Amino acid sequence: MTLQRFSDKNGDKMKQRITARGLLKLVGDVGAFVLPLDKMAPYRWLHGEIPIKGLDDYFPSVVKQVASRLERRGLVKKLETKDGLVIEITNGGKCEALKYKLEDMKLKRGKWDGLWRLVFFDILEKDKAKRDTLREFLKKMGMEQMQDSVYVSPYDISGEVKYLREVLEIPHDVKLGVLKEIENEEELKEIFDL
């Protein structure tokens, strides 16, 4: 996300312009927040008085404009209250924010603990697009394909796999196993440079 920094009217604090993607990711993480009527008051969670760290770095007027664009796309809801403007993510917005998180997934590396992680799946032909997306992200995480629907990694990718199957709405079609031994282990060690 590219940010533009600007000084406020006192010239001593830098502000940033938030993008639609940035705001959607933020709202996806916090659920809902209040853009206060008092411009000097901090943004805060919808339920509670705890300020949202980092959100004060953004121009309130830009947050409001971006929220309006997201509202037109059906990704957030805005509600005027006595405390300020409540910005809340919709189900469509949650899906879009999850897609952004998927795009941020990176190649998994680290110290090998001697265990193999196996991901295997049986996804119906009617869900071919979901199956192809799953394969794409398993490869992006550095997994090696052993068979059409079987991937292996020496690294702990369980959190990412659980996240993927929930986002793709295939929680029962994808399984994860942890193995101490696997056939062709020496070949896999070579592939993963272990």
End of a domain among 98, 123, 142? 98
CB atoms within 10 A of CB 67: 24
The domain of 60 spans 5-98
- The reply to whether 89 and 115 lie within a common domain is no
pTM of the model: 0.58
Block residue for tokens 């405390």 = 83
Q: How many helices and strands in the chain, by DSSP H and E? A: 6, 10
End of a domain among 47, 81, 98? 98
End of a domain among 63, 98, 133? 98
- The reply to whether 131 and 184 lie within a common domain is yes
How far from the centroid of its chain's Cα atoms is residue 97's Cα? 6
Tens-place pLDDT, residues 18-40: 788 877 777 776 667 777 665 55
Domain count within the chain: 2
- CA–CA gap between residue 122 and residue 120 (Å, rounded): 7
Tens-place pLDDT, residues 127-173: 888 898 889 889 888 899 999 899 999 999 888 888 888 778 888 99
Strands 44-45 and 32-36: antiparallel
- The reply to whether 176 and 158 lie within a common domain is yes
DSSP-derived 3-state class of residue 121: strand
Query: Using 50, 70 and 90 to split pLDDT, how confident is the model at 3?
Result: very low
- The reply to whether 144 and 81 lie within a common domain is no
What is the CATH number for 23?
Answer: 1.10.10.10
Residue 24 · residue 93 · CB < 8 Å: yes
Block residue for tokens 């068979």 = 147
